[in-house]
Amino acid sequence: MHYDCKKNNHGLPHDPYKAIVAPRPIGWIGSKGIGGFQNLAPYSYFNAVADKPHFVMFSSVSIKDSVKNIEETGVFTFSLAVEKLFDGMNGSSAPAEYSVDEFNLTGLEYSQGKFVDAPYVKESPAALECKYWKTIDLPGSNRSEGTGTYVVFGEVIGVYIDDNYITDGLFDASKARPLVRLGYMNYGVVGKENTFTKNRPELDKNGNLKEVEEWDGIYR
């Protein structure tokens, strides 16, 4: 089948777009407004976009509390959402009033960032502390009405890792068991049972693919 995205004429019960672009990391964003109100919210449009320097992004449909806080204060955090924290992550997605602290709402503990004045989830195996760079208002967005989609970029200036999740000098993502967002109301978990290691090949002197037996730490 083919369908026109403008017309959304797929004939299915729900748009399959998000189910096709999957899995997606969950951007569990912590922020604090200038009045001191804390906020914690998960975003399914999230990813790392660079590592020299380290940058992440997330996008919000409408001007939600996270966007408001980040643009006011210039900082935010990302907490790694993992299987054991699913209920807290899911609970923090509820459309609460601005004054509601999602840490209290969900029973999650928080720590204040070491590098930025914003909270992250204390129980999370890892967190990124970010300095706000800019927001890109996607076409069709209207700030006066708060409608549309807004992409927020931040530079990661500090990283927290629970030492229990470092194995042989590497962050053990399979042990942490990160949650991923699929389509509809579906989620997945990254664990040892569904991960594997394979080095990228090199080219030999004749221009043919050559297997690399041991990773040298270079991302090719």
pLDDT digits (tens, 9 = 90+) for 96-128: 999 999 999 999 999 999 999 999 999 999 999
pLDDT band, residue 51 (cuts 50/70/90): very high
Question: Is 212 in contact with 219 (CB distance < 8 Å)?
Answer: no
The structural domains of the chain, ordered by start, are: 20-166 (2.30.110.10)
Note the pLDDT of residue 46: 98
Question: Is 212 in contact with 199 (CB distance < 8 Å)?
Answer: yes
Report pLDDT digits (tens) over 161-212. Answer: 999 999 999 999 999 999 999 999 999 999 999 999 888 888 999 999 999 8
Question: Which amino acid, residue 133?
Answer: W
Around Cβ 212, how many Cβ atoms within 10 Å?
A: 14
The pLDDT of residue 220 is above 90: no
| Beta strands across the sheet bearing 179-181 | 24-25, 179-181, 187-189
The residue among 117, 128, 174 whose CA lies nearest residue 29 is 128
